[in-house]
Amino acid sequence: MQTSSSPKGKYTPGSPPLFYIIFILVGLFSALGLDYVAWKKGEKSYLFYALARKEKVTAKKDVLSDIILSNVSANNIPPGSINQFRDSEGINHFMIDLSFEQYTSLESLLKEEFQKVDAFIIKKEEQKFEEKNYYLWEVKGKKKQRLTILFSCLKERLKTEEKPSIIVSKNKVAIIIDDMGQSLKAINDICSINQPITVAILPYSPLASETAGIARQNNLEVILHIPMESINNIEGNNSVEGIILSKMSEEEIIETVEKDLDQVPYIIGVNNHMGSKITADKNLMRIILERIKLRNLFFVDSRTTGKTVAYNVARSLKIPTASRQVFLDSEVNEGYIERKLHELFRLARKNGKAIGICHPFEETLKVLKENILLVEKYNLQPVFVSQIVE
């Protein structure tokens, strides 16, 4: 016996016609589309407004920062004693000036509050010096929340000290200390020299913001030490984080420069870290220096190659600029460094100005501290590098 079947396209009881299903789906997608368009225009919408609101409500709150700010306020620490900086990775860096008694009180309070939100101090570093103690905390919380706190504690109220008298002279000498941001001891040793010194901080160094904060607190000058590709990739130097490479597109170079500039607070200028390949390329330097100009920063050519065009390109763009005359510690030897320092002083006296670049080696800082006052013998005025650029 043959089973009867409905002709093609005929209605079968119990199943909706295909055309009704299509009609419903088209209507649903049309409604969703109109709702989305209305939401994007800021007009009344239903589904997307509700989703956006839910996302906003459930957005990650900066609980750790709130804990710090509320407890600092509760301990009567004035707002002017707190510096806060958020880097390009979204990590908050706090620098708090306070007395040792206030630190002791805050220490227990913050530990207790952090534990309540499942946050912990994963690293704690202490540096003690004659005038101040520094306590650096790295805190990690839920959902990869992280921040650092640098507590700066005066041991006692300092008496006003007379700074060494500075001879007013047309002859000027400036010293830049490169590769900063690796050690709190280094920046404190530099501060103890008690002279105008410019510190150049690497953008992704672990203590970049803390070093910049201490330098600013002690009236030193801060610039960005921007990494650039060198001709010789010795020991993987060209893989330094934040480095500008010749193979990059213009868009990649601009993005890298902007991120590097955002890494270090309080900068007023830039000099190059390595860069023998980049600084010899007029087009690449133009791209980099145009971004520096937009930030109203000056540029110092470290002159890591005799083929550099960086100074000339900066001048053509009307950016305040200067060039390094002497590398003080190409050899990490006290006798060598002292001879190069005298060479720098002689050049400054002869030419009216000169810039020396060095690094935070213990030998270098020792020589600087012991010999910097020889500027008087050479009739020189020690200045920040910003007072030499033109």
Name the residue ranges covered by the structural domains of the chain.
63-154, 172-387
As a whole-number percent, the residues of the chain with pLDDT over 70 amount to 81
CA atoms within 13 A on the CB side of 281: 17
Q: Which residues pair with 310 in a beta bridge?
A: none
Out of 10-14, 52-56, 87-91, 361-365, give the one with best mean pLDDT: 361-365
pTM above 0.85, yes or no: no
**Superfamily, domain 172-387:** Glycoside hydrolase/deacetylase (3.20.20.370)
What are the residue ranges of helices labelled H in the chain? 18-40, 47-57, 63-74, 100-116, 184-192, 208-217, 250-263, 282-294, 310-316, 334-351, 362-371
pLDDT of residue 214: 95
Is it the case that residue 290 has pLDDT exceeding 60? yes
Is it the case that residue 3 has pLDDT exceeding 50? no
pLDDT of residue 22: 66
Contact 332, 361 (CB under 8 A): yes
How far, CA to CA in Å, does 134 sit from each of 117, 167, 185, 186, 195?
A: 26, 34, 10, 13, 21
Reduced to 3 states (helix: H, G, I; strand: E, B; else coil), residue 135 is strand
Determine the average pLDDT of the residues in 224-251: 91
Residue located via tokens 């010749």:
246
pLDDT of residue 275: 96
| Pair of tokens at residue 365 | 């800082």
Reduced to 3 states (helix: H, G, I; strand: E, B; else coil), residue 351 is helix
**Distance (Å, rounded) from C-alpha 236 to C-alpha 250?**
23
Least confident of 126-130, 146-150, 241-245, 272-276: 126-130
Reduced to 3 states (helix: H, G, I; strand: E, B; else coil), residue 112 is helix
Using pLDDT thresholds of 50, 70 and 90, give the confidence band for residue 233: confident
Say yes or no: do domains 63-154 and 172-387 share a fold: no
Nearest Cα to Cα of residue 353 among 186, 175, 105? 175
Residue 62 CB-density burial (10 A; 0-12 exposed, 13-18 middle, 19+ buried) = middle
Instruction: Specify the higher pLDDT residue, 10 or 57.
Output: 10
pLDDT digits (tens, 9 = 90+) for 179-227: 999 999 999 999 999 999 999 999 999 999 999 999 999 999 999 999 9
pLDDT of residue 236: 74
pLDDT of residue 158: 42
pLDDT digits (tens, 9 = 90+) for 68-95: 999 988 888 998 889 998 888 888 999 9
Using pLDDT thresholds of 50, 70 and 90, give the confidence band for residue 166: very low
Signed CA dihedral, 46, 47, 48, 52: sign only: positive
Out of 88-102, 111-125, 158-172, 305-319, give the one with best mean pLDDT: 305-319
CATH topology of domain 63-154: Beta Polymerase; domain 2 (3.30.460)
Least confident of 8-17, 59-68, 256-265, 346-355: 8-17
